[in-house]
Amino acid sequence: MKKRNLFVALFCALLVSPFSQAQSLEKFDVTDAWKAKIEQLAPAKTTFPTKKKHKVLLFSLFTGFNHWVVPHTAAMVEILGQKSGAFEVVPSNDIMMFEKNNLKQFDAVVLNNNCSINPRRDLFYDKLIENKALSEAEATAKAKELEENLLNFVKKGGGLMALHGGIVMQNKSAEFSEMMGGSFDYHPAQQPLTVRLADPDSPMLEAFNGEGFTHVDEAYMFNVAYSKQNFHPLLYINTSEIKGLKGENPEPKKYISWIKRYGKGRVFYASPSHNAQSYDDPRLLKFFLDGMQYVVGDVKVDDSPIGTSGQ
């Protein structure tokens, strides 16, 4: 009987192991208390000098998967802008903000988990066809126009920051993928991820003091333009440490954050984070604020692409 009880106890311990628990962090609503905590943790000022207050469009619309962290991410970006005094953050879920004349008023766009619907994976189309006021052909044409407006905005010098599922917005567009540096492929189940610094000497990684960090997240895998590695990597995970990858993965490293140039503009992508608990780390908050400064041109850093040679 004692042996049987011991077996049961060990079996139950496995069921509630740290790994199994970590895959489902508790969701919670945005509250004034939570925002006050993030405000206290956020940097009091920018890392790099800024000559003006930049105007940023914070776009949080999604038509596909609903990341519970969307409102938290929006609040976090607004807090970073307000506390630092460097950014006027304008939140919107209106796709018409991507009309040329509307984009002109902004220095940068922040894409907050803008997941689109399968199989088309075109958020603009999803929204345009929603009330069936437009035909499929009309919606397709208008969606292409709005996407091109964003592409041209960045090409001509605008900034673009995409957080986590923001990369999924136009996920089957080769042009959007080229601008972003890749497209979303899939992710295994949430798990503790050990995140490492790809370029520890980069001013963009000053927040981490030369050391990586561990948090619970989705290990995003990327495809399409990602294979070109036409970006300068900032953060990566070792694929040998990831549970649940599909098939064989020949890449020892999977980059999950990078910076890159697109025309005259700058792009910052960061996969962390799927969970609002990660925002309790002041290093990540500083990292995101530095990313905002990069895309608006406040900081000149090495953003040369690594190409297919790896780093």
**pLDDT tens digits for the chain (311 residues)?**
433 343 333 333 333 333 333 456 899 999 999 999 999 999 999 999 998 999 999 999 999 988 889 999 999 999 999 999 999 999 999 999 999 999 999 999 999 999 999 789 999 999 999 988 899 999 999 999 999 999 999 999 999 999 999 999 999 999 999 999 999 999 999 999 999 999 999 999 999 999 999 999 999 999 999 999 999 999 999 999 999 998 766 689 999 999 999 999 999 999 998 888 899 999 999 999 999 999 999 999 999 999 754 44
Q: How much is the pLDDT for 276?
A: 87
Of 126, 168, 152, the residue nearest 269 (C-alpha): 168
The number of residues in the chain equals: 311
Q: How much is the pLDDT for 3?
A: 39
Of 113, 117, 108, the residue nearest 272 (C-alpha): 113
* CA distance linking residue 196 with residue 14, whole number of Å: 28
- At 14, is the secondary structure helix, strand, or coil? helix
Measured CA to CA in angstroms, residue 221 lies from 70, 128, 227, 302 at distances of 20, 29, 11, 24
Q: How much is the pLDDT for 24?
A: 63
Kindly tell me the burial class for residue 5, based on how many C-beta atoms sit within 10 Å of its own C-beta (0-12, 13-18, 19 or more): exposed
Residue range 131-189, pLDDT digits in tens: 888 999 999 999 999 999 999 999 999 999 999 999 999 999 999 999 999 999 999 99
* CA distance linking residue 214 with residue 227, whole number of Å: 26
**Domain annotation for the chain: domains and CATH numbers:** 29-301 (3.40.50.880)
Q: How much is the pLDDT for 65?
A: 83
In DSSP notation, the chain reads: -HHHHHHHHHHHHHHT-HHHHHTTPPP----HHHHHHHHHHS-SS-SS--SSPEEEEEE---SS---TTHHHHHHHHHHHHHHHSSEEEEEE--GGGGSHHHHTT-SEEEEES----TTT--HHHHHHTTTS-S-HHHHHHHHHHHHHHHHHHHHTT-EEEEEGGGGGTTTT-HHHHHHHT-EEEE----EEEEEEESSTTSGGGGGGTT--EEEEE---EEEGGGGGT-SEEEEEEEGGG-TT--S----SEEEEEEEEEETTEEEEEE---SSGGGGG-HHHHHHHHHHHHHHTTS--------GGG--
Cβ atoms 167, 185 nearer than 8 A: no
* CA distance linking residue 274 with residue 279, whole number of Å: 10
Of 147, 160, 144, the residue nearest 263 (C-alpha): 160
Q: Which residues contact 125 (CB under 8 A, 6 or more apart)?
A: 139, 140, 143
Amino acid at 44: A
- At 36, is the secondary structure helix, strand, or coil? helix
Q: Rounded to 5 degrees, what angle do the CA atoms 305, 195, 17 make?
A: 150
Q: Which residues contact 4 (CB under 8 A, 6 or more apart)?
A: none
Q: How much is the pLDDT for 273?
A: 84
Amino acid at 52: K
Q: How much is the pLDDT for 9?
A: 35
Partners of 111 in the β-ladder: 59, 162
